[in-house]
Amino acid sequence: MNDNGNAWRDFNRGVWCDDINVSNFIKMNYTAYNGDHSFLEGPTERTKKEADRVKELLIAENKKGGVLDVDTSRVITILSHGPGYVVDKDTDIIVGLQTDEPLKRGVSPFAGIRNSVQACNAYGYEMSDKIKDEFKYRTTHNTGVFRAYTETMKKARHAGILTGLPDAYARGRIIGDYRRIALYGMDFLIEQKKLDKERLAEKEYLDEETIHLLEDLAKQIEFMYQLKELALLYGYDISKPAVNAFEAIQWLYFGYLGAVKEQNGAANSIGRIAEFIDIYIERDLREGKLSESEAQELIDDLVIKLRLVRHLRTPEYNDLFAGDPVWVTIALAGVTGEGKHMVSKTSYRVLNTLYNLGSSAEPNITVLWSERLPEPFKRFCAKVSIDTDSIQYENDDLMRRLYGDDYAIACCVSAMKMGKQMQFFGARCNLAKVLLMALNGGKDEIAGDQIAPEGMTFDEEILDFTQVYNEYKKYLKWMARLYVNTMNIIHYMHDKYAYERLMMSLHDTDVERLMAFGVSGFSVAVDSLSAIKYAKVKPIKDERGIITDFEIKGDFPKYGNDDDRADLIGKNLIEYFYRELCKTPAYRGAKHTLSILTITSNVMYGRKTGSTPDGRKAGEPFAPGANPMHGRDSQGALASLNSVAKLNYACCRDGISNTFSITPDALGSDEENRISNLVTMLDGYFVQDAHHLNVNVLNREKLIAAMADPTLYPSLTIRVSGYAVNFNKLTRDKQEEVVARTFHHSM
Amino acid sequence: MSLAPSIIRCNMANIHSFESLAALDGEGIRYAVFFTRCPLRCVYCHNPDTWHAGKIEMSAAELFDKIKRYKPYFKNGGGVTFSGGEPLLSSRFINETCRLLKTENIGYCIDTSGSVRLDDEVKTALLNADMVILDIKFHNEADYKKYTGGDFSLPAEIGKFCSDNGKRLMLRSVIIPGINDNESDIKGYADYVKNLGLRFEKYELLAFHTMGFFKYDELGIDNPLKDTPPLDKEKLNALQDLLNSRLNGEKYVSDRQTD
């Protein structure tokens, strides 16, 4: 690769020069930064102008009920729309929009035509006959899945035991390694894929998986060419590697843009890009071609573009994933396998966009926390959290053991190696409802239908823990098998009918696949079991003979108080369920992973679940993710954190989400104390092998005021469950649930 | 019932509650243990639920096991805060716990009203503390007697003991509208601590608040200050400034110890 002399000038050479190996490039070339944030620059006049335009657009979008415009005339693909700009061709630095206008959404029916029609209708649009005709002759992912679904799968889905599955929308959670485009240029990447295909074709016997992969590669190559054309529409040739910081960011962004034009998956994360970009910025700074202000301007402009990414969704979808998120998750910092921290000045510059452009839910800034991060960086992160409630933390010291030092986060808490692993996303099953089903011999406690195989009935006055737990395990076993098989159908069909051609072209051909299962209702299930074990729980049956309520006599330990009696029930429960999942093989040799993450579906899952033995009444929301149930963590913030920290990441390597809200006063009386206490808290939590923490530092009263008058805090951002939302974009029931959560306060 | 200060001597302590994140300015993250029982009956008490023994009985070893779990958060000078109620009533228990805490290098603060007799157990508990937070309830005997029911000489002895032994000492007073919110009161507090010759790091005024009122209703006891409003924040700041100026210029601040 001698012809890359100019693009690679002044870079330390290594194995990355001969093979695709971005990780090696970063480690050989990045500049670790140990200083504080005092070097950062504010927004330029140009950035302010562009940010003002964005503000206007967001207000207009909000006024129109959340969707500014929809292009219903054609299907959105990589090349469907010509160039579009936020202000104009000369003002935008980093260029490229999904359609020809900012915030105009495209129609992407590949995952399901019915869903797209409904999404158009929900916002007062009508899908064009042209699109409808085109899809008359095309099978969508959704159609494929429902052809193969068994009756039991449909029933479980309908009852809300297994829901939110990506069977009517695109799965997402795949991160293309967009850095490859900047480092190698498209021509080299295309050439490599062609070589992979040739090598594959040389096999003696072309089995089904090989044929599948050959077709995948053909699709990937086709879309790689299309991406080059997309860049040309904007006047750039991305065949060759980027020669400076601007090009590196622009090339990388073109890759991301192509991906979100082609795909409308549930989470479109951008990966671990900051430290990569920093290498180019540092070189330009050294060569005197860029000033700090200009470097910040590039990052600001990239972030502006990322904040404008939109997909067209149905109201049902918003019920699961409230607040119109895209999960442009960007992972920062972390530590190398050799123990050197990876904080660069660009890690700071990305955080600084929250000051320069105002706080925002997107991109979903995720700090890969390690004890070894430099103290000034930890303090700056804490300051940003306190000021903006916009960032989350994930334990690099924990994830690095499993994912190496070049992984990123997809969506909220899903780690995967950049360009080397992909995920089959699988929403979640309802652990609390499975418990009720076990108590009712396989019947749905609400509709009364027999869903699972018939089991024993509980006729004693008081529930016996051992009996209940044994029965629960039987149904969890049944659930696990059904869940894996359901996922296998979904992802078979998704690969077949809605394959992520561009994103997968930016992965190694022999990609490792993870199949991500999930649970909801975790703390409700744990507290219910604890109540049955330590208090006296009397089941109350209705006229159908179904248990619909419980009388609880006596107190019982609750998850969230650092009390092993409750916490270990949770730990054992999740380990059992994970082991059961692993017993059924996953599609395409995928490795099973599990998350305790609900996004905002904890409200919907709660709605579909009857009263539970912990005292929660029918229809009431669950706590989000792995959080203790609202208000039951009564021994303060750290006890709550310690309980969550006990859960075993090795069984939940798709993430254990914990969302934490604390009032400013409880954290400390002034900024200095708040910052140092938050840093200490994060260190203390993560050193116990905890995985994730969303941090909100705010008063409940502020949220209540914003509910009454949204104009008071138009950009109020709050972390909910692995991501942030603009509080005003949440529906009333979700706002109420957020307000009802535990706010750790001072005494 | 007798309000005579006495130390309850037993191997178990009666604990009202725990707070796993209790921030204390400059002292890192603290795990607070609230003991029950108090020799005082302050009219403005916001924790009347700690006056009498409650449900949680615990040995020093059990308490130590609980505290140990929070060690990862005790960087930057954090540790345990023994509060209450009156923690020094449980001095013997604290000393027993302290022996265990020392094995893990965990330190503690005592948050006290100083309304106990200075016996050997109390002395040990104070000497082993990283810091003592002493609540100066009132600056004259009449008010002290009237509003707390306690012995005015006790907190002075405790304060002097800490000061004379070079303990890090922090003083606090709660300012209540209509009771001690006059400028003359503030001067009184300043003179009181000066006359005692206390060496301390900080003297902080706290505003009377009504957030503990519901506890009086729950306990079915009369709340003598039920019609008193919370103290205005601006007024508090002005009084704090006044106090600072009255204390200024003289070296009452002890040298901060480091371990």
ipTM: 0.89
Q: Which contacts qualify for A614-621: CB closer than 8 Å, 24 or more apart?
A: A614/A524, A614/A527, A614/A528, A614/A530, A614/A531, A614/A552, A614/A558, A615/A527, A615/A531, A615/A550, A615/A552, A616/A524, A616/A527, A618/A446, A618/A548, A618/A549, A621/A733, A621/A737, A621/A740
CB contact A673 to B (< 8 Å):
yes
Supply the DSSP string of A360-377, one letter for each residue: -S-SEEEEEE-TTS-HHH
Q: Which residue of B has its CA nearest to A640?
A: B20
Q: pLDDT band at A50, cuts 50/70/90?
A: very high
How far apart, in whole angstroms, are the C-alpha atoms of residue A201 and residue A191? 15
Which letter does DSSP use for residue A78 in this model?
T
Q: What value does the mean pLDDT take over residues A371-397?
A: 97
Of A31-40, A273-282, A353-362, A715-724, least confident by mean pLDDT is A715-724
CA distance B227 to chain A (A): 22
Over residues A232-250, mean pLDDT: 98
Residue A687 near chain B (CB below 8 Å):
yes
**Percent of all residues in chain A with a pLDDT value above 70, rounded to a whole number:** 99
Quick: pLDDT tens for A585-635. Answer: 999 999 999 999 998 889 999 999 999 999 999 999 999 999 999 989 888
Give residue B189's pLDDT.
95
User: To which H or E segment does residue A424 belong?
Assistant: strand A421-425
* Residue of B128, B129, B32, B157 lying closest to B85 (CA atoms): B32
Nearest CA in chain A to B31: A638
Question: Does the residue B7 lie in any domain?
Answer: no
Residue A375 confidence (pLDDT) above 60:
yes
For residue B132, is it within any domain?
A: yes
Q: CB contact, 8 Å: A6 with chain B?
A: no
Q: pLDDT grade, residue A747 (50/70/90)?
A: low
Is A636 in the B-facing interface, judged by CB distances under 8 Å?
Answer: yes
Q: What are A695's strand-pairing partners?
A: A660
Structure tokens at A630: 């609202």
| Identity of the residue numbered A119 | A
- Report d(CA B115, CA B1) in Å as an integer: 17
Helices (H) and strands (E) in chain A, counts: 26, 19
Q: Is the pLDDT of residue B253 over 60?
A: no
- B26 CB neighbours in chain A (<8 A) are 673
Spell out which residues of chain B touch residue A635, defining contact as CB-CB under 8 Å: 17-20
Q: Is A645 on the interface with B (CB under 8 A)?
A: no
Answer yes or no: is B258 within a domain.
no
Q: Residue A18 in 3-state DSSP? A: coil
Kindly list the residues from chain A whose CB atom is less than 8 angstroms away from the CB atom of residue B28: 676-677, 680
Q: For A476-489, what is each residue's pLDDT tens digit?
A: 999 999 999 999 99
Taking the C-alpha atoms of residue B204 and residue B243, their distance in angstroms, rounded to an integer, is 9
Using CB atoms within 10 Å of the CB of residue A6, give its burial: 0 to 12 exposed, 13 to 18 middle, 19+ buried: exposed
User: Cβ separation of A684 and B70 shorter than 8 Å?
Assistant: yes
- Interface A–B counts its CB contacts (< 8 A) at 72
Q: pTM to 2 decimals?
A: 0.94
Amino acid at A397: D
pLDDT of B52 over the 50 cut: yes
The tokens for A548 are 């619909």
> Please, what sign has the CA dihedral across residues A661, A664, A666, A672?
positive
Write the single-letter amino acid at B127.
Answer: L
Q: What is the structure's pLDDT at A563?
A: 96
Q: Tell me what pLDDT residue A131 has.
A: 94
CA A573 to chain centre: 24
Q: Quick one: pLDDT at residue B75? A: 85
> CB of A669 within 8 Å of any CB in chain B?
yes
Assign residue B182 a region (left: φ > 0; alpha: ψ between -120 and 50; beta: otherwise). beta
Instruction: Identify whether A411 is a catalytic site residue.
Output: yes
Instruction: Tell me how far apart the alpha carbons of residues A712 and B83 are, in angstroms, rounded to a whole number.
Output: 40
CATH number of the domain bearing residue B176: 3.20.20.70
Cα A409 vs. chain centroid, distance in angstroms? Answer: 7
- Average pLDDT over chain A reads 95
- The per-residue pLDDT for range B151-160, each reduced to its tens digit, is 999 999 999 9
Cross-chain CB nearest to A680 (options B17, B69, B76): B76
Structure tokens at A618: 């029918």
Assign residue A689 a region (left: φ > 0; alpha: ψ between -120 and 50; beta: otherwise). left
CA distance A597 to A521: 9
CB A266 within 8 A of CB A13: no
Quote the CA–CA distance of A715 and B176 in Å, as a whole number: 39
Under the banding of pLDDT at 50, 70 and 90, the label for residue A390 is very high
A582 catalytic residue (yes or no): no
User: Which residue out of A17, A381, A411, A651 is catalytically annotated?
Assistant: A411
The token pair that represents A638 in the structure block: 């750290």
- Distance (Å, whole) CA A690 – CA A687: 7
Alpha-carbon distance of A433 to A605, in angstroms, equals 9
Q: Which of B20, B28, B73 sits opposite A635 (nearest CB)?
A: B20
Structural domain spans, chain A: 149-168+421-656
Q: Position of tokens 């995928």?
A: A590
**Worst-scoring range by mean pLDDT, A131-140, A148-157, A200-209, A715-724?**
A715-724
Tens-place pLDDT, residues A422-466? 999 999 999 999 999 999 999 999 999 999 999 999 999 999 999
Q: Is A635 within 8 Å of chain B by CB?
A: yes
The answer to whether residue B259 is domain-embedded is no
Q: Looking at the partner chain, which of B21, B28, B72 has a beta carbon nearest the beta carbon of A637?
A: B21
Q: Which residues contact A296 (CB under 8 A, 6 or more apart)?
A: A40, A41, A42, A43, A44, A349, A352, A356
* Three-state SS at A441: coil
pLDDT over 80 at B133, yes or no = yes
Domain assignment present for residue B3? The answer is no
B67 located within any domain? yes
Asked if A667 lies within 8 A of B23 by C-beta distance, the reply is yes
Asked if A638 lies within 8 A of B70 by C-beta distance, the reply is yes
Position B46: which residue type?
A: H
Looking at residues A185-203, what average pLDDT do you find?
97
Mutate one of A663, A686, A747 to test the B interface: name it (highest B CB count within 10 A): A747
Cβ–Cβ gap A666/B75 under 8 Å: no
Rounded to whole angstroms, how far apart are CA atoms A174 and A157?
24
Per-residue confidence at A359, pLDDT binned at 50, 70, 90? very high
Q: What are phi and psi of B33, to 5 degrees?
A: -115, 120
A610, two tokens? 């009857």
CA distance A66 to A310: 11
Whether B29 sits inside 8 A of A680 (CB atoms) is: yes
Task: Please give the residue of chain B at the shortest CA–CA distance from A688.
Answer: B72
pLDDT of residue A651: 96
3-state secondary structure chain B: CCCCCCCCCCCEEEEEEEEEEEECCCCCEEEEEEECCCCCCCCCCCCHHHCCCCCEEEEHHHHHHHHHCCHHHCCCCCEEEEECCCHHHHHHHHHHHHHHHHHCCCCEEEEECCCCCCCHHHHHHHHHCCEEEEECCCCCHHHHHHHHCCCCHHHHHHHHHHHHCCCCEEEEEEECCCCCCCHHHHHHHHHHHHHHCCCCCEEEEEECCCCCHHHHHHHCCCCCCCCCCCCCHHHHHHHHHHHHHHHCCCCCCCCCCCC
pLDDT recorded at residue A3: 60
Least confident of A123-137, A340-354, A698-712: A698-712
> Which residue range is the domain that position B53 belongs to?
12-247
The mean pLDDT of A195-205, rounded to a whole number, is 95
pLDDT exceeds cutoff 70 at A152: yes
Inform me whether the pLDDT recorded for B7 exceeds 80. Answer: no
Q: pLDDT higher for B225 or A469?
A: A469
Within A393-464, residue ranges assigned H as helices are 396-403, 431-439
Secondary structure, 3-state, A484-537: HHHHHHHHHHHHHHCCCHHHHHCCCCCCEEEEEEEEECHHHHHHHHHHHHHCEE
CA distances, A383 to each of A142, A160, A371, A682 (Å) = 45, 40, 17, 13
**Pair A690, A395: CB distance under 8 Å:** yes
pLDDT band for A355, please (50, 70, 90 cuts).
very high
Q: How far is B34 from chain A (nearest CA, A)?
A: 11
Q: Do B70 and A670 touch (CB under 8 A)?
A: no
d(CA A407, CA A275): 12
> A677 vs B75: CB contact, 8 Å cut-off?
no
Average per-residue pLDDT for chain B? 89
Which residues on B lie below 8 Å from A685 (Cβ)? Answer: 72-73
Q: Give the residue-averaged pLDDT of A203-222.
A: 96
Give yes or no for A668 touching B (CB within 8 A): yes
Task: Look up residue A391 and give its two tokens.
Answer: 């960032």
Burial of A101 (0-12, 13-18, 19+ CB in 10 A): middle
Single-letter amino acid code for the residue at B58:
M
Confidence of residue B258 (pLDDT cuts 50, 70, 90): very low
- One-letter identity of residue B96: E
User: Predicted confidence band at A210 (pLDDT cuts at 50, 70, 90)?
Assistant: very high
Q: How far is B204 from chain A (nearest CA, A)?
A: 12
Which residue in A378, A555, A638, A686 has the most chain B C-beta atoms within 10 A of its own C-beta, making it the best mutation to test that interface?
A638
Which residue does chain A place closest to B33, by CA atoms? A635
Are residues B19 and A670, on separate chains, in Cβ contact within 8 Å? no
Q: Does A714 touch chain B (CB under 8 A)?
A: no
Within 8 A of B19 by CB-CB distance, chain A residues are: 635-636, 747
Choose, from A412, A429, A651, A652, the residue flagged as catalytic: A412
Residues A654/A414, Cβ–Cβ less than 8 Å: yes
Q: Which of A660, A677, A678 to mutate to test the interface with B (most CBs of B within 10 A)?
A: A677
- Residues A344, A350, A353: CA angle, nearest 5 degrees: 145
Lowest model confidence (mean pLDDT) among A407-416, A511-520, B42-51: B42-51
What is the model's pLDDT at position B251? 47
Q: How confident is the model at residue A46 (pLDDT cuts 50, 70, 90)?
A: very high
d(CA A578, CA A141): 27
Specify whether the CB–CB gap between A346 and A275 falls below 8 A: yes
Identify the pLDDT of residue B9: 45
Provide the token pair at A658: 């914990």
Residue A322: pLDDT band by 50, 70, 90 thresholds? Answer: confident
Q: Which residues from B are below 8 Å from A when comparing CB atoms?
A: 17-23, 25-26, 28-29, 31-32, 66, 69-70, 72-76, 78
Residue B20 to residue A562, Cβ atoms within 8 A:
yes
Of the two residues A719 and A225, the one the predictor is more confident about is: A225
Q: B236: which chain A residues are within 8 Å (Cβ-Cβ)?
A: none
A746 Cβ contact partners less than 8 Å away, ≥ 6 residues apart: A663, A665, A666, B22, B23
The Cβ-side half-sphere exposure at A162, using a 13 Å CA radius, reads: 26
Q: What is the CA radius of gyration of chain A?
A: 25
- A639 part of contact set with chain B, CB < 8 Å: yes
In the numeric block, the tokens 């609900």 are attached to A598
Rounded to an integer, the average pLDDT of B211-230 is 88
Residue B160: burial class (beta carbons within 10 Å; 0-12, 13-18, 19+):
middle
A681 near B CB under 8 A: yes
Interchain CB contact of A685 with B (< 8 Å): yes
Q: Please say if the pLDDT value at position A248 is more than 60.
A: yes
Q: What mean pLDDT is predicted for residues A498-516?
A: 97
Q: Is the pLDDT of residue A2 over 60?
A: no
Domains in chain B: how many in total?
1
Q: Which residues of A532-582 form beta strands (DSSP E)?
A: 536-541, 547-553
Q: Which residue in B21, B24, B211 has the most chain A C-beta atoms within 10 A of its own C-beta, making it the best mutation to test that interface? A: B21
Is 50 exceeded by the pLDDT of residue A211? yes
**pLDDT-derived band at B256, boundaries 50, 70, 90:** very low
Residue A90's pLDDT is what? 95
Tens-place pLDDT, residues A78-108: 999 989 999 999 999 999 999 999 999 999 9
Are the CB atoms for A726 and A737 separated by under 8 Å?
no
Between CA A680 and CA B210 the distance in angstroms is: 31
Contact A680 B70 (CB under 8 A): no
Cis peptide before B85 (omega within 30 of 0): yes
8 Å CB contact between A725 and A412: no
